A and B are shown apart, each in its own frame.
Chain A
């Protein structure tokens, strides 16, 4: 810390050296551009940030404690929805996959494909919010409205399928709560046709905007080895140039049967691992998600979505760790069963919690105004970070 401090300077005409010292500023517990209730303790030397200490826990709702007090595993799913509330489908996906592996259930193909479509839709929704709010953090208001407009179309598809727009309780252990509507495939294809040009529009509006690039390129650089040591995941890790996506590297569900690419940060506008790279990975991921959705809809087999739902869920004693790729990164569930109908322990490895822990590594040496740019590029949802 000493090395980064400004040394006392002598000013001509002034007899003594100017005294300088670090200042501690509390940012929050709301502001950090209101990605959630968070407080950042900044240690600053003038405009330069010497250290950042995040304080979290304002949104702690005892998810893990609740799990241990449920009467069965199925009751956990609505709670899992409420962790990352902008991508609830991905949260329940991870939990049901973990429970199915623990119970050794094989689910019908139709269920797997519908789940993948829903998970990719929720990736698009989550990235749209991430991109829109990121623009707002930096001062671009319009892209946010465009993003919310497109998001509504996806939410309409969710609503038509399961009746809910935000928190679904749609994926059940072994199946789904409802089958999709007869015109589902047509609606999905309509959306894909509509959405591709919107990504291009978003690029014109925001991604290649000169001011936006000035604010994000070369800011908050996270080198690949540091990123791995912090175990950050998702677009934050891929933005640092590491080709690591659980849909490819540790495939679950039917992802191994679908053809898609993993975008990584290449440092096109600055350094590999800067804010612009992390942002751009999300744009490219939305393109890939549209590809996945189109393939999955074409391959959607017929079948019964409720045939494999078990009557009683009572896994054998044992433990399992299952990780899935949510829009934010690697969401892991460590589930320990003692042979009863209630989980003995559910630990959630939350990508937002881990990604936020790397914030100090990205912010040291940056300007105060850049802190919000860096925080927005991580895309945290504190409902998941605090659980």
Chain B
């Protein structure tokens, strides 16, 4: 399916959950989904006979500056050979996104990483804790407004 057809299909089925999209003139066509509806959209993308997105290539946390955080999902189908990018946006005051761990197991660690680096909370994730940073680290290092702390457990951080 082309990106345009995927977009039409998503619009027909989920209507108001599709907030925005760009499928032409970009290297990777994308669709913006409301954060709370994300899981059902992903389930549909994985299980529908026409879609069959069985591979979640990448899941990236984002900070778009100005208190806007986001998550980007790169989906691929090894059967149908088409791909689509899902984007979702939340505010840093309420950074809650539905977890897709139960849809694609690979999201487990990727979501933990996005939580670790951006503080995005994935609702329904079975084991949401830091993965790369130490457990007692304060703050979310990849946020654009992050200040590197002077000390960590008495050790000087900037070298």
Binding site for B on A (CB under 8 A): 56-57, 60, 62, 64-65, 68, 101-102, 226, 228-232, 242, 244, 249, 318-321, 323, 330, 332, 334, 336, 345, 347, 349, 353-354, 357-358, 361, 386-387
Closest-CB distance, A81 to chain B (whole angstroms) = 20
B28 touches A321 (CB 8 A): yes
**Cβ of B36: which chain A residues have Cβ within 8 Å of it?**
none
Given contacts A60-B133, A231-B56, contact A345 B27 (CB under 8 A): no
Known contacts A65-B141, A353-B109; A231/B133 CB under 8 A: no
Would B105 and A229 count as touching, CB distance under 8 A?
Answer: yes
Instruction: Give the shortest distance, in Å, between B122 (CB) and chain A (any CB).
Output: 15
Judge if B58 is at the interface, Cβ distance under 8 Å: yes
Residues in B88-111 with C-beta less than 8 Å from chain A:
104-106, 108-109
User: Would you give 27 A-B contacts (Cβ < 8 Å), ordered by A?
Assistant: A57-B132, A64-B117, A65-B142, A226-B105, A228-B55, A231-B56, A231-B104, A231-B106, A249-B81, A318-B26, A318-B27, A319-B27, A321-B28, A321-B74, A332-B74, A334-B60, A345-B60, A345-B62, A345-B63, A353-B109, A354-B106, A354-B109, A357-B105, A357-B106, A357-B108, A386-B132, A387-B132
Question: Is the CB–CB distance between B27 and A320 below 8 Å?
Answer: yes
How many B residues, CB 8 Å from partner?
30
Q: How far is the CA of A267 from the CA of B28 in the complex (A)?
A: 37
Tell me if B27 and A229 are in contact (CB < 8 A). Answer: no
* CB-based nearest A residue for B137: A57
Tell whether B85 is near chain A: CB-to-CB under 8 Å.
yes
Q: Are A349 and B57 in contact (CB under 8 A)?
A: yes
Main secondary structure of the interface of A (DSSP, over half): mixed
Shortest CB-to-CB span from B58 to chain A, Å, is: 4
Report Cα–Cα, A56/B108, bound state, in Å: 14
In the complex, the chain A residue whose C-beta lies closest to that of B72 is A334
A95 to chain B minimum Cβ distance, whole angstroms, is 15
> Known: A65-B141, A229-B104, A357-B106. Contact between A60 and B55, CB under 8 A?
no
B132 contacts across to A, CB distance below 8 A: 56-57, 60, 386-387
With A and B bound together, what is the CA distance between A188 and B71 in angstroms? 45
Closest 5 CB pairs of A and B: A231-B106, A347-B60, A349-B58, A57-B132, A357-B109
User: B57 and A332: CB pair below 8 A?
Assistant: yes
Q: Report if B78 contacts A (CB, 8 A).
A: yes
What residue of chain B has the Cβ atom nearest to residue A332's Cβ? B58
How would residues 21 to 37 of chain B score, 1 for a CB under 8 Å from any chain A CB and 0 otherwise? Answer: 00000111000000000
B67 shortest CB reach to chain A, Å: 16
Minimum CB–CB distance for B117 against chain A, Å: 8
Q: Is the CB of B27 within 8 A of A334?
A: no
What is the minimal beta-carbon distance from A325 to any residue of chain B, in angstroms?
Answer: 13
Tell whether, in the assembled complex, residue B57 and residue A323 are in contact, meaning their CB atoms are under 8 Å apart: yes
* In the complex, B41 has a CB within 8 A of chain A: no
Are B54 and A228 closer than 8 Å at their CB atoms? yes
| Cβ-defined contact, A244 with B106, below 8 A | no
Asked if B126 is at the interface of the complex by the 8 Å CB criterion, the answer is no
Q: Which residues of B contact A357 (CB under 8 A)?
A: 105-106, 108-109
What string of 1s and 0s marks CB contacts (under 8 Å) between B102-146 and chain A? 001110110000000100000000000011111000000110000
